[in-house]
Amino acid sequence: MILVTGGARSGKSRFAESHVNGKVLYIATAVATDAEMRERIEIHKASRPKNWDTYEGFLDLSEIISSNGNNYDFILLECITTLITNLLFHFGGFDAEKINYTKVEAQIIAQIDEILKQSKSTKAEVLFITNEIGLGIVPADALSRNFRDIQGRANQKIASICDEVYMIMSGLPLRLK
């Protein structure tokens, strides 16, 4: 298992995609919530090799990995950050003032744990792409601070399990593990 992390537009996807060959399952976690996001998703789709299979969704990804993992050489999960965003609103709702962040984080981490468990038991090599979002200023609002914290703890958990971890900066990889 490999974790690829870095900032937005750092080259994470390009780096991860260059490390896969053979039969690939691409798990896309983005949801088209507006026109700009739909355009981003279409650009991503167009850039992927046509022979890759794609699963689009963010719920119960451990089941997707479990049921498909032995049919592929590689599974590329992009991205953990988007997955956590979607799970945060799925489990917590859209009113930031009413989210029970402790409860929601436990539900998100349970999903991550199951993804990691199934990834470890599959023959496919699994690559996780995530954003490193904790390098900037402390966010001004509770939603953003809690999201950053959940993301950071999830990244730590995934990195601790993965065999290799890369940080991508300005398109250049730095192997951390």
Helix 101-120 vs helix 142-161: crossing angle, to nearest 10? 20
Beta carbons within 8 Å of 113's beta carbon, 6+ residues apart = 157
From 44, 148, 153, 157, the catalytic residue: 44
Catalytic, 19? Answer no
Taking CA atoms, 41 is separated from 48, 54, 143, in Å, by 11, 12, 24
Q: Count H helices and E strands in the chain, helices first.
A: 6, 7
- Strand-pairing partners, residue 129, are 4, 78
Beta carbons within 8 Å of 22's beta carbon, 6+ residues apart = 72, 73, 74
Residues identified as active-site? 44
